[in-house]
Amino acid sequence: MSRTKQGERLPALLILAFVFLAATGKAKGEFKQVPRWWVRSAMCVHRYEGSWRDPNGPYYGGLQMDLSFQRTYGNWMLGHHGTADHWSPHAQLVVAWRGYRQRGWTPWPTTAVRCGLL
């Protein structure tokens, strides 16, 4: 991980900017942009959820998506790459954004409350 001269980690804002830039791109052949305001909120949810590579079911990845959620909002990714713990953080955010547009923050009830989203 990159460090500053003082040995501290890069500020969270720089990491957030990197994740936002990574969260825009092509998904299944069509351009999908995840809004910056939503990425900030999703990163708060992620802080209380698992690692981006969390393989421990029944919830997978950095936003702890179950198989039903993955099938509904990321079926192409699930079929081609396996469960969310095998997806890039970018792909996990795009799929979570798709779910959010349909269901709001309800798939993450406890962490959304901690982040002040519900």
DSSP line for the chain: --B-TTSPBPPHHHHHHHHHHHTEEEETTEEEE--HHHHHHHHHHHHHS--TT---TTSBTTTTB-HHHHHHHHHHHHHHH-SGGGS-HHHHHHHHHHHHHHHTTTTSHHHHHHTT--
**Has residue 39 got a pLDDT over 70?**
yes
Structural domains for the chain: 48-118 (1.10.530.10)
Q: How confident is the model at residue 55 (pLDDT cuts 50, 70, 90)?
A: very high
Model pTM score: 0.74
Please state which of the ranges 14-23, 30-39, 53-62, 88-97 shows the lowest mean pLDDT: 14-23
**Range from 8-17, 31-40, 66-75, 78-87 carrying the lowest mean pLDDT:** 8-17
The mean per-residue pLDDT over the stretch 23-46 comes to 72
